[in-house]
Copies of this chain bind each other. A is one copy, B any other.
């Protein structure tokens, strides 16, 4: 495949890039047209208006993300783990044969309870390529964080953590919201660290979250520090549940503001971090395209 249009179509945003043979973005576009803004049946038209001029004859388009969900352009059934590049490439959901395909997400079953991801699989495979790794433990922080174990370039295990969403719920909709400032202040490192430490030592978030209220009630923490403290509590709670041997690095990939916090929290556990530069999704889509020959 010489000319590849890589598309990352998520719930709330739509991004695309024309990639070089090395997976470098030559041109990029972004639109506020996540799948939640597109009506059923409206996907071809949105795609055409955003990227139609790039789809010259011979161009291949690969799309990752929620575009492959039930509410997306076309449902791409999940690939069951363990799964590597090849399994995913073999399970592409072709919207237009040979021209436009959607990358399937991954699923895993643990004692009858499924877990799923869509979009992250492409970022993961891209990160492995960028870092030159065959084995890795990764975390993709976000609304729903993913912890992922990779062996021999296959995703063997993963789990979802509603950390970002819980933070937002507690921050905006719980009784704690009354104590917290309306705007999001800059990260208070000391308060964040204290939150992480309290979560790691504490009996669980259902209890520790309440300390955000009482520390404020007793004037033991300033209002501006409380969001950072609460953020430390939820991220610390997520880390506490992982098996993280000291000194074994974890690959952290995601938005800068968030990866900085995970790096700081992991430092409390003596766990070093490997960062991934931007472009993991593009690199992953390039790698999947390359398996198509």
Contact = CB atoms under 8 A, between A and B. Distances in A.
Contact of A215 (B113, B161, B173, B210): B113
Interface stretch (A26-34, A119-127, A236-244): A236-244
Interface in A194-218: 198, 203-207, 209-211, 214-215, 217-218
Given A173-B173, A206-B234, 20 more contacts: A113-B215, A114-B211, A114-B217, A115-B211, A160-B207, A161-B206, A161-B210, A162-B175, A162-B206, A162-B210, A163-B206, A165-B174, A165-B175, A169-B174, A203-B241, A204-B204, A204-B237, A204-B241, A205-B206, A206-B238
15 contacts: A113-B214, A114-B215, A114-B217, A115-B210, A115-B211, A116-B214, A160-B207, A161-B206, A162-B206, A162-B210, A166-B206, A169-B174, A204-B204, A204-B241, A206-B238
Interface residues on A, range: 35 or more
A276 interface: no
A187 interface: no
A59 to B, nearest CB: 33
Contacts of A112: 220
A129 interface: no
A169 B162 CA distance: 13
A91 interface: no
A171 to B, nearest CB: 11
Given A170-B169, A175-B165, A113 B206 contact: no
Interface of A: 112-116, 144, 159-163, 165-166, 169-170, 173-175, 198, 203-207, 209-211, 214-215, 217-218, 220, 234, 237-238, 240-241
A179 to B, nearest CB: 12
Nearest to A214: B114
Contacts of A174: 162, 165, 169
A225 to B, nearest CB: 14
